[in-house]
Each structure stands twice: as structure tokens, then as C-alpha cells.
């Protein structure tokens, strides 16, 4: 039994190792690649950074509201901790268990000139609200000739793998929403990025879906400025400079990609790593400029490879850089299966899968 | 506004399919020759449509859609309908609206949002485990009663041991049914094995009742190769074709319309069975709940909607979940016979479900049951409910309103149970569970091929390619992967 217990625990310990690395790589004490530049302030984790942003949003605009399932007591990921106590239950509140209701209500609230910050408890549960998001929020401005808009709407939803979430607590559904003109889709990689991008999303005059990498809520720690600041939407960032290949990703996957970059460097391959940050509308120019320099592109995301947002990036860059490309664009992504429980380590776009693809692309 | 339209004019328009106008008559009508008493007309408001001189295509289309179909009304054609309206309405002070006749009233009265008196809760056993005099309860044999009790205890012990296994890090997640043992077991006992179960996730007792073994439960929790779900879902997502128990999904209330569709199949196949779907108070807020109830009523299918109203949807109390008198009153709005039952009283739950099943199958009708109870455990192992509700409250429900204790008092009073049998049973179940956990832990995980199977009936080319690539990657980087799954 002991042997088998160890076998089972191996999955757990491997996840721990992975998470441990994540914490280091996004901490200012590490190489600092993933940490944002010019970080000043207290060292906090990602959910605390989100909490700070929400606090500022409520404090700086008396017509901002935060709501969703279990938001009142602080949310199942603690992102709304203390907000109801400070700002009152009329501005921070529980909703009935109904995602279509949450988003529909948020659209109406936003359409009256308020900032509606809606939480969907897990991105996996956003689909009952799909009609409200795709047919209502995204088209509210366009269909009315700009008579009406719901630009004050921001939908927050935790997404991605955590090691044991299986089919319904792990998904990365960003690509569905990147197919919808009228929406913005934003995904932060670290606490400082999360705070600045969330405040930009809340203040952006368009409906924004803000996916939070839930695997990093507690594990990613970095110094975050205590005050109010925003980071620009639709601007990608080169977070590691290199000359042989461009890697593009977002959210938690950047941590894994960065490890692959570090390992590739040991083998003499210089990787440039780009955090896309905003997937819709996305910053093609930054990616294009990088690929013009390196001549190679690799995209990595947790979502299934087929129809993932990597496909869009790949097609756009081939259109723009066809003659400059020295190898096919590589995609290292989740497999085309639902997100499986015990098979999660097999499903994931791991560091070594990325490293292999880097080498194959460079040696093409 | 058409303030001087005559009744004749109105009905002429009606005959020219300007039907909707008939639904409401001008508020300020100066009709002198009206077929309607004036005091009636006064109460009826005018829709904007009356401004139109020509009926819109959309509305005449709407009319045909409603009346060209199978919807029943007493008139057999539109002209019959108008004639009927002309002759009957003034006499009976009612109008045959789409959907049936409605009487008029001169009183401007709003229906109340909720009744002052809440709907009563059906109970058979009082808190001392005594049968309430004159209660409408079914006779339960000693054999059935003892089987129900032993299953309730098994479920309790199962929860304790599996919860502990999660705390020890042996399984990744668990979710208990503490406080809802009577709902689980007594409802299952009242059903037939050929009835289909569409569960939420807090009804493993139904599966236990049907013979799913402790080993099978443990295999699912560990996601080993004997798990029917092939290790793909989180722990507690049980499912078994053999037991007509449709596999649990983490999503809330999505199973409700499925139960309705499945019940329609039973109706069409003229089967002597029904479906039952379980959900919580939180689930009753979803669109799927409302769609499911409405479909069931319209399709007239044999489905039992079983709401476990335990007061808490994770941290969200019922006061943040809904207004009005709970779930039971919604049945009436959809045209569904409904009952509220004490969920901590196994005899009441048994009788209610037994009768609901009979009603559902004999009358081919949905039935709604709202069982009032309390989630005496945390939502799951990911939750600490003391953060949002008082410990005293939890303890009171756990101890004073414990459904297992109450049922035990009853069977003891009947002379069917003793301390000795109790302790033997508990000890035996504990041993079986301990063995089941150890065995499940030893079994290897499902083979890697099972990651790709069942996405479709047969894996398409893209999955075959991905499987090949993965196998190469596993060979190359064996240390990246768990060793307890066959490659």
C-alpha cells in the first residue's frame, strides 16, 4: 500500500513542484522575468491584488457594484474579502445561483451608467451566460447605433488548471469569447499585472471578460504598488528578450513557457517571450515585430489546440510574416479532449513539450 | 386613441384577425351600446396595438401559431371563437383568452407576492421518532425499515471515512450528505429500480440503495481503472448504467431538463416508470430549473422534481437565493402538483416520493417535492462553513434534528433495532470501507488510452495523432508523468 500511496502522491508532489516554481518565477526574489518591471510596494499574492483592485474600483466610483455567487462572504477564492463590510451589502452582494441572471443583470446595471463588476465563480460555469454575453453585452452598442451601451460591464472569472479540477473546474474558455466582436478579453499573468489590468478593464468603456489564472491566486507573489494604477489594454509585453524564436502566451501558461525558455538557453537557444495580456483586440504589431526579428513562432495555451486562440495568432502572423518565417508556427496546447482528472499531467502543455517544440522549430 | 370605437367595430376588426385588440378594450371607452358592462370595461387597459389601423403581419402570424396548433380551447375555429366571445363573455363576465377563460373583476387587486401563511410541511415522525396521530403514512415492513436505517448509517459512516481520507490527502476532494441521509435513502427506497435518477451531487445514498458497492464508491474517488468514469471526473461524480443513475456533473441543475426529456421517452414507450431529478435550493434559481418544470408541465411527463432545500448554496443563505415561500409554491405557477415535506423525516420522505411516483406514472404528470432540511456539513472539502454561519446553528441541526437519530428512535420503538446491532453494523461498515480504500488505492489508474476514448464513439484522426505524440513524449520524458497509469 505504501508504494501505491507514493505513486498516487507523485501526482500531487509533481504539481507542488510545478507550483513551487511558479511562485519563485513570479516573485521579485527570482530571476524576475515574469514579475512586472518597476514593482514597488508590498509583496502580495494574486487574489489579494484582485481584492485591492476591486477595493479601489468601489472606492473611486460610488456607482460601481460587485456581485456574484458567494461574493458577499468574500468569494470562494477570497477575492472579495472584506468588501461587503466596507462598502455595504447594496454594492457588494450575493446573487442567486444563475449565471445568465448575473450577466443579464450586470448588462442592465451597466446600461444605466454604472460599473457592473460581475463574478462568475468558475470560468467553466460561464456558459449559461453565453447568450447574454454574446448576443447582448457584445452587441448592445452596435445594434442600437450607440444609443445604448453596456461598457461599464466587467465579468471576472477564474480559469485554468489547478491539479485536480477535472472537467468542470479547469477549463480555459477564452477562445469562445475571442470570436465575439464587441467584447474585450483580458488575462493577467501576475499580481501586479492583475491589479493594473483589472482596473483598466473596469474603467474601459466596453464590456470586458477578465479571466483570472486561479492556479496562481495564492502561489504567485510579487511586489504590487498599493495605490491606484492601470495598465494599458491591447498592448502585449515582451517579458524576455531573445533572438532565435518568439514564444507567445498569456496567464499561468507563461510560467511554464518561461521555464522552457530558461532550459532552452542552456542549450544555446535564445527565446523571446511575449505576454499577450489582451486577447481581444490583440496586439499583432508587437508579435509581428518580434517574429520579424526571430523568424520563428511558438504559441502555447492550456485550452484545446483545435480552434484555440493560438490558431488565430498563427494565421495572422503567417499572413504578415510569411516570407520571414523559417519554420512552421508551433502550437503546444491542451489536447482535444475534455479536461481529464487523473490524466491532467498528460493533458497539459508541459515545459518539456514546449522545449521539444522550441528545438524542433529552431532546427527545422 | 380610439375613444369612440363601437363594439361592433371592435368585433369587425376581430374578425379581420385583429385579434389582439379583443384582449383589451379601451380604458376610456364611451360605448353606449356595449355588450360589456361598463364597469368591466373600465378595468381593462388598452395596448398600444389599438393605435394601429392594420394588423401587423407579425401578430396575425402569432395568432396562427397559437391557434393553428394543438392548443385546446372550446371554439373549433376563429369565427366560432369570436361568436362565442360575443355571446358568452357578457353573460359570464369572462373571456376566452388564449390559454382559457378568465373571469373579469372590477377590483384592482394585486395578487400577493407571498402568502401570509407558509405552505405546511408534511411530517410523519415527530422529533421523538413517534408517528404523528392520523398522519398519512404508508405501512413500512420491518424488513424495509431496517434496510432503510442500515443504509442511512452506511451513508453516514461512508461520509466520515471518505472525508477523513480526503483530509489525509489520499483523495483530492470529497463532499458529504450529512443531514440529508433521510432524503437520500428514503426517496431511493420509494422508487423502483427501473426509474431513472438524474442526480445533482449530494445524493450518493440513492446509488448506495441500489447496490453500488463501497468498493465501487472508493474506486471512483481514487479514479482508478475500475472507476466507471475512467478517472476523468473529480471524486464524488458517480454514475452507473447498471443502476440507472446518470453520471453526476459538477454543473448545477443542468440535469433537470434531461430528466424531463428522459421522462418523455418513458411516456412514449409506455413504460411503467418515471424519472427523478434532485437539486438544491441554489439550483432552483437556474434557467434550467424553470425550463425543466415548464417543459415537464407542457409535455405532461412522469418526472419527479426533488428539491433538497437545505438552506445553503455554498455560503449563500436561502434569503439571498429566493423570495416567496420557497420552492414548493413554484409548482403551482407551472401547473405541477407539489408537496413540501420534512426532509429529516424518513417516513414522510418515503411516503411523499412513493405517492409522487404513483401520481407521475398513473396521471402522466410531473410532481414537485420540496424537502426542507439543513446542510449539516460543509459544502465540500474545499469549504469551511463556519466562516459564514454560526457553529451553534450547525450543531443544533446536526444533533437535535438529525434524521438518522430520529429514524432510529422509531425503529427502536418498534422493537426492530438495538444498540448491539447498531454497533455491529457500524463496525462492519468501517472495516469494509477501510478495506475498500486500501484496495482502491492499490489499483493503478486507467490506461492513457482512456484519456482519448469516449470523446466520440471512436477517436477521430486528430486524437489518434495526439495520442501518438503523447506516447512519444512519455517515452522521452517519463519523469514528467505519473507512473501509476498504464501507457
Task: Name the residue of chain A whose CA is nearest to B290's CA.
Answer: A98
**Residue of A342, A344, A348, A358 to mutate for B, most B C-beta atoms under 10 A:** A342
Contact partners, residue B111, CB within 8 Å, separation at least 6: none
Predicted pLDDT at B82:
55
Best of B480, B485, B487 to substitute, by most chain A Cβ atoms within 10 angstroms, is: B480
Please indicate, yes or no, whether residues A56 and A204 belong to a single structural domain of this protein.
yes
For B183-336, list the strands marked E by DSSP: 196-198, 275-280, 303-309, 312-313, 316-317
Nearest-by-Cβ selection for B232 from A12, A94, A340: A340
Half-sphere exposure of B283 (CA within 13 A, CB side): 27
Same domain as B403, residue B316: yes
**Which of B165, B167, B251 to substitute to test the interface with A, most A CBs within 10 Å?**
B251
Q: Which of residues 287-316 of B touch A (CB under 8 A)?
A: 287-288, 313-316
Q: Among residues A196, A224, A252, which one ends one of the domains?
A: A224
Percent of chain A residues topping a pLDDT of 90:
89
Work out the pLDDT band at B80, boundaries 50, 70, 90. Answer: low
pLDDT band of residue B92 (cuts 50, 70, 90) is low
| A107 falls within a domain | yes
**Active site residue: A136, A169, A193, A258, which one?**
A169
Are the beta carbons of B232 and A341 separated by less than 8 Å? yes
Q: Are A297 and A310 in contact (CB under 8 A)?
A: no
**Residue of B321, B450, B482 with shortest CB distance to A96:** B321
Q: Locate the chain A residue with the closest alpha carbon to B438.
A: A1
Q: Which of A99, A119, A174, A344 is catalytic?
A: A99
Which DSSP symbol is given to B122? B
Closest approach of B380 to chain A, Cα-based (Å): 12
**Is A22 within the bounds of a domain?**
no
Q: What is the pLDDT of residues B134-169, one digit of tens each?
A: 999 889 999 999 999 999 999 999 999 999 999 999
Residues of chain A with pLDDT under 70: 1-39
Looking at the predicted structure, is the pLDDT value of residue B59 above 90? Answer: no
State whether A245 and A314 are in the same domain: yes
**Shortest Cα distance from A164 to chain B (angstroms)?**
7
Q: Can you tell me the distance from the alpha carbon of A170 to that of B328, in angstroms, rounded to the nearest whole number?
A: 35
pLDDT recorded at residue A3: 36
Question: B65-74 burial, b for 16+ CB within 10 Å, e for fewer?
Answer: eeeeeeeebe
A352, B476: Cβ pair inside 8 Å? yes
Cis peptide before B393 (omega within 30 of 0): no
Q: Among A27-31, B217-221, B429-433, whose mean pLDDT is lowest?
A: A27-31
From A224, A246, A278, the end of a domain falls on: A224
> Is the same domain home to A241 and A185?
no
- Taking alpha carbons only, the member of B377, B421, B423, B429 closest to residue B213 is B429
Same domain, B399 and B469: no
CA distance A363 to chain B (A): 18
Structure-block grid coordinates of residue B240: 452507473
Chain A residues with CB under 8 Å of B252 CB are 97, 125
How sure is the predictor about B267, in pLDDT bands with cuts at 50, 70 and 90?
very high
Asked whether residue A25 is domain-assigned, the answer is: no
Q: Flag whether A4 is in a domain.
A: no
Residue A273: per-residue pLDDT: 98
Query: Given an 8 Å threshold on Cβ–Cβ distance, is B482 in contact with A347?
Result: no
The model's confidence at residue B76, banded by pLDDT at 50, 70 and 90, is low
Mutate which: B316, B319, B436, vs A, most A CBs within 10 A? B316
Give the pLDDT score at B141: 97
Confidence of residue B259 (pLDDT cuts 50, 70, 90): very high
- Which pLDDT score is estimated for B11? 40
Q: What is the pLDDT of residues B375-391, one digit of tens each?
A: 999 999 999 999 999 99
pLDDT value at position B78? 56
Give the pLDDT band (50/70/90) at residue B29: very low
Whole-number Å distance between alpha carbons of A80 and A66 = 8
Does residue B133 belong to any structural domain of this protein?
no
Q: Reply yes or no on whether the pLDDT at B89 is more than 90.
A: no
Name chain B contacts of A8, Cβ cutoff 8 Å. 170, 222, 441, 484
Assess if residue A19 is contained within a domain. no
Chain A positions in Cβ-Cβ contact with residue B450 (cut-off 8 Å): 343
Across chain A, the runs of DSSP E, i.e. the strands, are 42-45, 64-68, 92-94, 115-119, 153-159, 184-186, 208-213, 221-224, 237-240, 245-249, 271-275, 278-280, 297-304, 330-334
| Residue B36: pLDDT over 50 | no
Asked whether residue A147 is assigned to any structural domain, the reply reads yes
Whether residue B117 lies inside any domain: the answer is no
Question: Which structural domain, as residue segments, surrounds residue B57?
Answer: 7-103
Which residue among A158, A193, A224 closes a domain?
A224
**Both A216 and A254 in a single domain?**
no
In a domain, A79, yes or no: yes
Enumerate the residues of chain B whose CB falls inside 8 A of the CB of residue A347.
451
Residues B267 and B317 in one domain: yes
Query: Which CATH number covers residue A186?
Result: 3.40.50.970
Which chain A residues are within 8 Å of B282, Cβ to Cβ? 96-97
CB-nearest partner of A10 from B252, B322, B483: B483
What was the pLDDT predicted at B79?
59
Residue-wise pLDDT tens digits, B441-457: 999 999 999 999 999 99
Chain B contact present for A29, CB below 8 A: no
Residues B205 and B315 placed together within one structural domain of the fold? yes
The answer to whether residues B434 and B464 belong to one domain is no
- Report the pLDDT value the prediction gives residue A9, as an integer from 0 to 100: 34
Nearest alpha-carbon partner for B463 in A350, A336, A302:
A336
How many domains, in total, are found in chain A?
Answer: 2
Q: Is the pLDDT of residue B133 over 50?
A: yes
- Nearest-CB residue to A70 (from B314, B451, B481): B314
Buried b (16+ CB within 10 A) or exposed e, A138-155: bbbbeeeeeeebbbbbbb
Of residues B92 and B116, more confidence is placed in B116
Interface of B with A in 250-289 (CB under 8 A): 250-253, 282-283, 285-288
Asked if the Cβ–Cβ distance from A337 to B452 is below 8 Å, we say yes
Domain holding B422: CATH number? 3.40.50.970
B 317-356 residues with CB < 8 A to A? 320-322
Q: Are residues B430 and B356 in the same domain?
A: yes
Window B:432-451, CB contacts with A under 8 Å: 438, 441-442, 444-446, 448, 450-451
Question: Pick the residue with more confidence: B53 or B353?
Answer: B353
Q: Are residues A192 and A288 in the same domain?
A: no
A174 is catalytic: no
Please tell me whether residues B472 and B349 are part of one structural domain. no
**Does residue A6 form part of some domain?**
no
How far is B430 from A231, CA to CA, in rounded Å?
57
Based on the fold, state whether residues A311 and A194 are members of the same structural domain: no
Of A96, A97, A345, the CB nearest to B480: A345
- Residue among B173, B314, B462 whose CB faces A306 most closely: B462
Residue B67 lies in a domain: yes
Question: In what order do the strands lie in the sheet containing A208-213?
Answer: A92-94, A64-68, A115-119, A153-159, A208-213, A184-186, A278-280
Confidence band for B116, pLDDT divided at 50, 70 and 90: confident
Range of the domain at A252: 234-362
Residue B61 confidence (pLDDT) above 70 = no
Q: Interior CA angle at A121 toward A118 and A125, to 5°?
A: 100
**pLDDT (0 to 100) of residue A172:** 98
Regarding whether A253 and A168 lie in a shared domain, the answer is no
B120 domain residue, yes or no: no
Catalytic residue among B4, B79, B192, B250: B250
CA distance B451 to chain A (A): 7
The residues, any chain, with a CB within 8 Å of residue B464's CB and separated by 6 or more, are: B452
Phi and psi at residue B13, to the nearest 5°: -65, -35
Mean pLDDT of chain B: 86
pLDDT at B487: 86
List of chain B residues whose C-beta atoms are within 8 Å of the C-beta of residue A340: 231-232, 451
Both B26 and B84 in one domain: the answer is yes
Query: Is the domain of A147 the same as that of A241?
Result: no
How many contacts does A have with B, using Cβ atoms within 8 A? 154
Same domain for B150 and B78: no
What's the pLDDT at B22? 38
Does A268 share its domain with A126?
no
Is the residue at B137 inside a domain?
no
B28 and B177 in a single domain? The answer is: no
B451 and A168 within 8 Å at the Cβ level: the answer is: no
Same domain? For A182 and A309 the reply is no
Q: Write down which residue in B46, B72, B103 finishes a domain.
A: B103
Do A56 and A180 have their domain in common?
yes
Judged by CB atoms closer than 8 Å, whether chains meet at B455 and A4 is answered as no
Tell me whether A8 touches chain B (CB under 8 Å).
yes
Residue where a domain stops, chosen among B86, B103, B120:
B103
Nearest CA in chain A to B473: A353
Please report residues of A whose CB lies closer than 8 A to that of B484: 4, 7-8, 10
| Residue A21 Cα, gap to closest chain B Cα (Å) | 15
Q: Which of B322, B441, B455 sits opposite A96 (nearest CB)?
A: B322
Per-residue cell: B18: 385583429
Q: Where does the pLDDT of residue B115 fall: very low under 50, low under 70, confident under 90, or very high at 90 and above?
A: confident
- A14 contacts B282? CB cut-off 8 A: no
Nearest-by-Cβ selection for B470 from A93, A168, A346: A346
Q: Do B325 and B471 have their domain in common?
A: no
Clarify whether A164 is annotated catalytic.
no
Q: Please tell me which residue of chain B has the smallest CA distance to A350.
A: B480
Residues in chain A with CB shorter than 8 Å from the CB of B251 are 124-125, 168
Per-residue pLDDT averaged across B176-198, rounded?
98
Are residues B484 and A8, on separate chains, in Cβ contact within 8 Å?
Answer: yes
Q: Are residues B331 and B464 in the same domain?
A: no
Domain count, chain B: 3
Distance from CA of B306 to the nearest CA of A (A): 17
Question: Is residue B26 assigned to a domain?
Answer: yes
Residue A326 maps to which CATH number? Answer: 3.40.50.920
Are A164 and B438 a contacting pair at CB < 8 A?
A: no
Residue B435 lies in a domain: yes
Over the stretch A276-297, which tens digit does the pLDDT of each residue have? 999 999 999 999 999 999 999 9
> Is A238 found in the same domain as A220?
no
Amino acid at each position: 500500500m505504501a508504494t501505491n500511496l507514493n505513486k498516487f502522491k507523485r501526482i500531487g508532489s509533481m504539481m507542488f513542484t510545478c507550483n513551487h516554481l511558479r511562485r519563485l518565477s513570479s516573485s521579485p526574489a527570482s530571476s524576475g522575468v515574469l514579475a512586472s518591471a518597476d514593482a514597488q510596494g508590498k509583496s502580495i499574492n494574486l487574489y489579494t491584488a484582485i481584492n485591492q483592485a476591486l477595493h479601489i474600483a468601489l472606492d473611486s466610483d460610488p456607482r460601481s457594484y460587485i456581485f456574484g455567487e458567494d461574493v458577499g462572504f468574500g468569494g470562494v477564492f477570497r477575492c472579495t474579502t472584506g468588501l461587503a463590510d466596507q462598502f455595504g451589502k447594496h454594492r457588494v452582494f450575493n446573487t442567486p445561483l444563475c449565471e445568465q441572471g448575473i450577466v443579464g443583470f450586470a448588462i442592465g446595471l451597466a446600461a444605466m451608467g454604472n460599473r457592473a463588476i460581475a463574478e462568475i465563480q468558475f470560468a467553466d460555469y460561464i456558459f449559461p451566460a453565453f447568450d447574454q454575453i454574446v448576443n447582448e453585452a457584445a452587441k448592445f452598442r452596435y445594434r442600437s447605433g450607440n444609443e445604448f451601451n453596456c461598457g461599464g460591464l466587467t465579468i471576472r472569472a477564474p480559469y485554468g488548471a489547478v491539479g485536480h479540477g477535472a472537467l468542470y473546474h479547469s477549463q480555459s474558455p477564452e477562445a469562445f469569447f475571442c470570436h465575439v466582436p464587441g467584447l474585450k478579453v483580458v488575462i493577467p499573468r501576475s499580481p501586479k499585472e492583475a491589479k493594473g489590468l483589472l482596473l483598466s478593464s473596469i474603467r474601459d468603456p466596453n464590456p470586458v471578460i477578465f479571466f483570472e489564472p486561479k492556479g496562481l491566486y495564492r502561489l504567485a507573489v510579487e511586489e504590487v504598488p498599493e495605490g491606484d494604477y492601470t495598465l494599458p489594454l491591447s498592448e502585449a509585453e515582451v517579458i524576455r528578450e531573445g533572438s532565435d524564436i518568439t514564444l507567445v502566451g498569456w496567464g499561468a501558461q507563461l510560467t511554464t513557457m518561461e521555464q522552457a525558455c530558461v532550459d532552452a538557453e542552456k542549450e544555446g537557444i535564445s527565446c523571446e517571450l511575449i505576454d499577450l495580456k489582451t486577447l481581444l483586440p490583440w496586439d499583432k504589431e508587437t508579435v509581428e515585430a518580434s517574429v520579424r526579428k526571430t523568424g520563428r513562432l511558438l504559441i502555447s495555451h492550456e485550452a484545446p489546440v483545435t480552434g484555440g486562440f493560438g490558431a488565430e495568432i498563427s494565421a495572422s502572423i503567417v499572413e504578415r510574416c510569411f516570407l520571414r518565417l523559417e519554420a512552421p508556427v508551433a502550437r503546444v496546447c491542451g489536447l482535444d479532449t475534455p479536461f481529464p482528472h487523473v490524466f491532467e499531467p498528460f493533458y497539459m502543455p508541459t515545459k518539456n513539450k514546449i522545449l521539444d517544440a522550441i528545438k524542433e522549430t529552431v532546427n527545422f | 386613441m380610439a375613444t369612440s370605437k363601437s363594439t361592433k367595430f371592435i368585433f369587425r376588426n376581430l374578425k379581420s384577425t385583429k385579434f389582439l385588440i379583443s384582449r383589451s378594450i379601451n380604458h376610456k371607452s364611451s360605448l353606449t351600446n356595449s355588450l360589456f358592462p361598463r364597469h368591466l370595461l373600465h378595468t381593462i387597459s388598452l395596448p398600444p396595438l389599438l393605435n394601429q389601423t392594420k394588423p401587423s403581419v407579425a401578430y396575425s402570424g402569432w395568432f396562427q401559431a397559437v391557434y393553428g396548433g394543438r392548443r385546446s380551447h372550446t371554439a373549433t375555429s376563429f369565427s366560432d371563437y369570436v361568436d362565442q366571445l360575443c355571446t358568452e363573455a357578457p353573460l359570464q363576465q369572462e373571456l376566452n383568452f388564449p390559454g382559457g377563460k378568465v373571469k373579469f373583476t372590477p377590483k384592482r387587486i394585486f395578487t400577493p407576492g407571498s402568502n401570509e401563511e407558509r405552505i405546511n410541511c408534511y411530517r410523519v415522525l415527530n422529533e421523538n421518532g413517534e408517528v404523528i396521530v392520523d398522519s398519512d403514512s404508508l405501512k413500512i415492513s420491518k424488513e424495509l425499515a431496517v434496510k432503510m436505517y442500515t443504509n442511512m448509517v452506511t451513508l453516514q459512516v461512508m461520509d466520515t471515512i471518505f472525508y477523513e481520507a480526503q483530509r489525509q490527502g489520499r483523495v483530492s476532494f470529497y463532499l458529504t450528505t450529512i443531514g440529508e441521509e433521510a432524503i437520500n435513502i428514503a426517496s431511493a427506497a420509494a422508487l423502483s429500480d427501473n426509474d431513472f435518477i438524474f442526480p445533482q451531487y449530494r445524493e450518493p445514498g440513492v446509488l448506495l440503495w441500489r447496490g453500488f458497492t463501497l468498493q465501487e464508491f472508493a474506486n471512483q474517488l481514487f479514479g482508478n481503472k475500475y472507476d466507471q468514469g475512467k478517472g476523468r471526473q473529480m471524486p464524488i461524480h458517480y454514475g452507473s448504467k447498471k443502476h440507472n443513475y446518470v453520471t453526476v456533473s459538477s454543473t448545477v441543475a443542468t440535469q433537470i431538463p434531461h430528466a424531463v426529456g428522459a421522462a418523455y421517452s418513458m411516456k412514449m414507450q409506455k413504460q411503467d416508470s418515471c424519472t427523478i431529478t434532485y437539486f438544491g435550493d441554489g439550483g432552483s434559481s437556474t434557467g434550467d430549473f424553470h425550463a425543466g418544470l415548464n417543459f415537464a408541465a407542457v409535455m405532461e411527463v412522469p418526472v419527479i422534481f426533488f428539491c433538497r432545500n437545505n438552506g445553503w448554496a455554498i455560503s449563500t443563505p436561502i434569503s439571498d437565493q429566493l423570495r416567496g415561500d420557497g420552492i414548493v409554491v413554484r409548482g403551482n405557477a407551472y401547473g405541477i402538483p407539489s408537496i413540501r415535506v420534512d426532509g429529516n423525516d424518513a417516513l414522510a420522505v418515503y411516503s411523499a416520493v412513493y405517492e409522487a411516483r404513483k401520481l407521475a406514472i398513473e396521471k402522466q404528470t410531473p410532481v414537485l417535492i420540496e424537502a426542507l432540511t439543513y446542510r449539516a456539513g460543509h459544502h465540500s472539502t474545499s469549504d469551511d462553513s463556519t466562516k459564514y454561519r454560526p457553529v451553534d446553528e450547525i450543531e443544533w441541526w446536526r444533533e437535535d434534528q438529525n434524521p438518522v437519530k430520529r429514524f432510529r428512535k422509531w425503529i427502536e420503538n418498534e422493537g426492530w433495532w438495538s444498540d448491539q446491532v447498531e454497533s455491529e453494523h457500524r463496525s462492519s461498515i468501517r472495516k469494509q470501507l477501510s478495506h475498500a480504500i486500501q484496495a482502491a488505492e492499490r489499483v493503478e489508474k486507467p490506461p492513457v488510452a482512456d484519456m482519448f476514448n469516449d470523446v466520440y464513439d471512436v477517436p477521430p484522426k486528430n486524437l489518434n495523432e495526439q495520442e501518438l505524440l503523447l506516447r512519444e513524449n512519455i517515452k522521452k520524458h517519463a519523469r514528467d508523468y505519473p507512473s501509476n497509469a498504464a501507457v
